Amino acid sequence: MAAVVVDNAPIIDLHDVVKQYGSGESAIFALDGVSLAIYPGEYVAIMGASGSGKSTLMNVIGALDIPSSGEYYLDGIDMASLDENQLAIVRGRKIGFIFQSFNLIPRTSALANVELPLAYQGIKIKERRIRALKALDLVGLSDRLTHEPTELSGGQQQRVAVARALVTKPALLLADEPTGALDSKSTADLLDLFDLVNAAGRTVVLITHEADVADRAKRTIRMRDGKIIEDTAKVLA
Amino acid sequence: MNFFEMVRFAVRGLVANRLRSALTTLGILIGVGSVIILVAVGNGSSKQIQDNIAKLGTNTITVMRGGGGFGARAQSRNTQGKPLTVGDAVQLSDKKSAPNVKQAAPVSNATSVCTNGSSSTTPASFIGTWPSYFEAKNTKVVKGTYFTNDDVTEGRRVAVIGKTTASDLFGEENPIGKVMRCGGIPFSIVGLTETAGSNGFLDGDSLIISPITAVQRALTGYGNISSIVVQAKSAKVQDQAQIEIESILDKSHGISNVNSRDYRLLNQASLLATTTSTTKVFTVLLGAVAAISLLVGGIGITNIMLVTVVERTREIGIRKAIGARRRAILGQFLIEATILSLVGGILGVLVGFIGSNFMIVGVKPVIVPSSVFLAFGVSVFIGLFFGGYPASRAASLRPIEALRYE
């Protein structure tokens, strides 16, 4: 259980987290006592078959779901102590989400989609526009600002999603099967983008079941039946 | 996120679903518009009836023969009680015993065919009376002159006729100065009355008014008269005038028991009050029907907003995942519903105003300002109220469930 040694506090710190559905005999443990620490600047891939609990883990890390028991500190904040509104604020400020199905707001331009998290943070329109343009520039979509999701290819939509995730300057980029719906060319582009983001110092956690995608990460965590069964750090070349 | 921002999101959400938004707005539009128009129609028809009653004369009390009640009992002109006479009218005109009566006029109704050469007509009313009748009944002569008290005293066979009678007998020619024969007896025409129109049963312009003396001598005989038209000095003293009339007639007809009166009074004011209350019921009914359609429009908003929330569950999940707070989601959906009803309300008021310019089933609608404010206010309230439930449902969706929703 070796981790890349980074000499400051973990950004994600899970202690014996359990997520349980149902109770008694019929109880199903989606997470069965997971303890995990991820440090700033890491690039972590979480792998596992479907039903292994990796999506639940991601939801818990992303503050979308609340664990049944155990402790979770995100950037030092005890998530159990937050109410729904505070969780929304934490999600908005600390985490950038990327989903398999892109999850852009339909019938809304790329630019407006990227501006949206800033709007919810109460950032002024002018600054919002500047930051959104910058984020879209970073993902190479400066020429698609007014396009709506249906007018963009899958790869482009996912890059808009990445821009939206990055525009808030989150501590953590959380990607759930981000390449699941992409062709190989788009996948390669996206993974290059992740490398770039990680190289800039941002923590990236991605969930995948594709080995070649996981290969790009510096640390790979394997899950089965709600438990972490393997946690390997790639030897830096 | 400020209010302005939420409005922007709401507008964007509505514009994204143009057709649906338009149809929902239509529901409210029809509700508000129909409340305004139907109440205006009710109000307009009540105004129309009031105008018609006012046309019959102002502050007039008609004294008629027979006791109270309608039908056979009232119509039976048997020997029961004393008939009305010209003498009664003279007494009622007395300033001392009836200080609140401005004037009284006896009315003798004749039935006769009138001719001019080969043209003939049977006037709907052939009235023998005094000149005071014209003012009391609000009947105006627009061409020629009224007949005078002198004409009455002398029993001159002069006549003021209505438009229908004039055209029946003389066509397009000016009837003034011409002579017609009624029951073979010549009457010279001195005046033409203002067009009164039809009240639905009787043509108010099929009319001949002559001195009572001439009518009695030529046609009805010097017997009983049909009624006495009394005009009170003002609407205020109408009740006092009525008491004076009753005391005079009770005395002259020798009546001690008010229940056995051989005459009855038809009061313009009470007639007006009765019809006003009837038309009010009518207006309320129309308004209620329209209010139901407004309510249906409101339920339409709930329905559409619920569908919208379900359809956009995923979107709500995304918004929550990227940091939208409960308040922001609640605000957006509430504002969407309110905008729908607000726009529907404004358009409904417009439609109401435009629609009220047309004649509807023969009635000129008259807008009741309070109905406009009420309908508009209710529509906005409906937006908040009926939009509130779907909005709170949207806001309380758990992000994880919303995101999983397909």
pLDDT higher than threshold 50 for residue B128: yes
* Residue B98: Cβ within 10 Å count: 22
Same domain, B117 and B216: yes
pLDDT higher than threshold 90 for residue A39: yes
User: Does the residue B126 lie in any domain?
Assistant: yes
Per DSSP, what are the bridge partners of residue A227?
A224
Q: pLDDT band at B172, cuts 50/70/90?
A: confident
pLDDT higher than threshold 50 for residue B77: no
pLDDT higher than threshold 80 for residue B72: no
| Residue where a domain stops, chosen among B261, B292, B324 | B261
Q: What is the pLDDT of residue B384?
A: 84
Please tell me the total count of domains within chain B: 2
The two structure tokens encoding residue B73: 């009992």
Give the nearest chain B residue to A58 (CA atoms): B400
> Secondary structure of chain A in the HEC alphabet?
CCCCCCCCCCCEEEEEEEEEECCHHHCEEEEEEEEEEECCCCEEEEEECCCCCHHHHHHHHCCCCCCCEEEEEECCEEHHHCCHHHHHHHHHHHEEEECCCCCCCCCCCHHHHHHHHHHHHCCCHHHHHHHHHHHHHHCCCHHHCCCCHHHCCHHHHHHHHHHHHHCCCCCEEEEECCCCCCCHHHHHHHHHHHHHHHHCCCEEEEEECCHHHHHCCCEEEEEECCEEEEEEECCCC
pLDDT higher than threshold 80 for residue B200: no
Range of the domain at B391: 3-52+274-404
Mutate to test the interface with B, among A103, A108, A158 (most CBs of B within 10 A): A103
CB contact under 8 A, A91 and B322: yes
Strand spans (E) along B42-84: 60-65
> In chain A, what residues touch B403 (CB-CB under 8 Å)?
64, 99, 103
User: Does the residue B354 lie in any domain?
Assistant: yes
Q: Are B71 and B232 in contact (CB under 8 A)?
A: no
Same domain, B214 and B105: yes
Q: pLDDT band at B71, cuts 50/70/90?
A: very low
Mean pLDDT for the stretch of residues A28-57 = 91
Residue of B253, B256, B258, B260 lying closest to B84 (CA atoms): B253
Computed over every residue of chain A, the mean pLDDT equals 89
In degrees and rounded to multiples of 5, residue A69 shows phi and psi of: -155, 170
Q: pLDDT band at B161, cuts 50/70/90?
A: very high
Mutate to test the interface with B, among A31, A55, A84, A128 (most CBs of B within 10 A): A84
Q: A234: distance to nearest CA of chain B, Å?
A: 31
Q: CA dihedral in degrees (B272, B274, B279, B280; nearest 10)?
A: 110
Q: What is the pLDDT of residue B275?
A: 79
Same domain, B29 and B103: no
**Percent of chain A at pLDDT above 90?**
62
Q: What is the pLDDT of residue A3?
A: 47
Least confident stretch, B44-58, B338-352, B364-378 = B44-58
pLDDT higher than threshold 90 for residue A42: yes
User: Residue B259 burial by CB count (10 A; 0-12/13-18/19+): exposed, middle or buried?
Assistant: exposed
Highest mean pLDDT among A67-76, B249-258, B367-376, B382-391: A67-76
Domain boundaries, chain A: 40-63+84-233
Give the nearest chain A residue to B324 (CA atoms): A120
Nearest beta carbon to residue B322 from set A65, A108, A116: A116
Q: A88: distance to nearest CA of chain B, Å?
A: 5
Looking only at the bridges linking them, the beta strands covering B60-65 and B263-267 are antiparallel
pLDDT higher than threshold 50 for residue B334: yes
User: Does the residue B62 lie in any domain?
Assistant: no
| Residue where a domain stops, chosen among B227, B261, B295 | B261
pLDDT higher than threshold 50 for residue A35: yes
Alpha helix ranges (H) inside B137-225: 149-154, 163-170, 212-215
Alpha-carbon span B1 to B249, nearest angstrom:
83
The two structure tokens encoding residue B16: 């994204």
Looking only at the bridges linking them, the beta strands covering A172-176 and A95-98 are parallel
Nearest beta carbon to residue B324 from set A65, A120, A164: A120
Which residue's structure tokens are 């300002």?
B369
Task: Give the residue, B193 or B223, on which the prediction is more confident.
Answer: B193
pLDDT higher than threshold 90 for residue A126: yes
> In chain B, what residues touch A120 (CB-CB under 8 Å)?
1, 319, 322-325, 328
Q: B338: distance to nearest CA of chain A, Å?
A: 21
Same domain, B251 and B323: no
Mutate to test the interface with A, among B315, B318, B397 (most CBs of A within 10 A): B318
**Rg, Å, chain A Cα set:** 18
Q: What is the pLDDT of residue A32?
A: 92
**Percent of chain B at pLDDT above 90?**
15
Same domain, B149 and B213: yes
Mean pLDDT for the stretch of residues B310-324 = 88
Same domain, B173 and B311: no
Q: pLDDT band at A163, cuts 50/70/90?
A: very high
pLDDT higher than threshold 80 for residue A237: no
pLDDT higher than threshold 60 for residue B75: no
Same domain, B209 and B251: yes
Buried b (16+ CB within 10 A) or exposed e, B169-207: bbeeeebbeeebbbeeeebebbbbbbebeeeeeebbbbb
Same domain, B113 and B249: yes
* Residue A75: Cβ within 10 Å count: 17
Mean pLDDT for the stretch of residues B89-107 = 88
Mutate to test the interface with B, among A31, A59, A61, A64 (most CBs of B within 10 A): A64
Alpha-carbon span B86 to B80, nearest angstrom:
19
Q: What is the pLDDT of residue B78?
A: 43
| Residue where a domain stops, chosen among B217, B240, B261 | B261
Mean pLDDT for the stretch of residues B74-83 = 56
Q: What is the pLDDT of residue B256?
A: 81
Q: What is the pLDDT of residue A136?
A: 94
Is residue B179 helix, strand or coil?
Answer: strand
Same domain, B219 and B161: yes
Q: Are A205 and A10 in contact (CB under 8 A)?
A: no
Same domain, B98 and B123: yes
Q: What is the pLDDT of residue B74?
A: 44
Least confident stretch, A111-120, B174-183, B208-217, B296-305 = B296-305
Residue type, B60: T
Tell me the per-residue pLDDT of B281-302, one tens digit each, with 9 for 90 and over.
Answer: 888 888 888 888 888 888 888 8
Q: B334: distance to nearest CA of chain A, Å?
A: 17
Tell me the per-residue pLDDT of B27-59, one tens digit each, with 9 for 90 and over.
Answer: 889 888 988 998 898 888 888 888 877 777 768
Same domain, B140 and B15: no
Q: What is the pLDDT of residue B314?
A: 87
pLDDT higher than threshold 90 for residue A137: yes
Q: What is the pLDDT of residue A7?
A: 56
Q: What is the pLDDT of residue B201?
A: 66
Q: What is the pLDDT of residue B80?
A: 61
Same domain, B378 and B319: yes
User: Does the residue B332 lie in any domain?
Assistant: yes
Report ipTM for this prediction.
0.88
Q: Are A214 and A17 in contact (CB under 8 A)?
A: no
Task: Specify the CATH architecture of the domain A40-63+84-233.
Answer: 3-Layer(aba) Sandwich (3.40)
Q: B336: distance to nearest CA of chain A, Å?
A: 16
Computed over every residue of chain B, the mean pLDDT equals 85
> In chain A, what residues touch B317 (CB-CB under 8 Å)?
103
Report CA-CA distances (Å) from B257 to A55, B253, B254, B260, B395: 99, 11, 9, 6, 78
Q: B280: distance to nearest CA of chain A, Å?
A: 51
User: Does the residue B57 lie in any domain?
Assistant: no
User: Does the residue B76 lie in any domain?
Assistant: no
Q: What is the pLDDT of residue A156?
A: 93
Q: What is the pLDDT of residue A235?
A: 65
CB contact under 8 A, A105 and B318: yes
Give the nearest chain B residue to A107 (CA atoms): B16
pLDDT higher than threshold 80 for residue A159: yes
Residue type, B120: S
Give the nearest chain A residue to B318 (CA atoms): A103
Q: Are B250 and B264 in contact (CB under 8 A)?
A: no
Is residue B196 helix, strand or coil?
Answer: coil
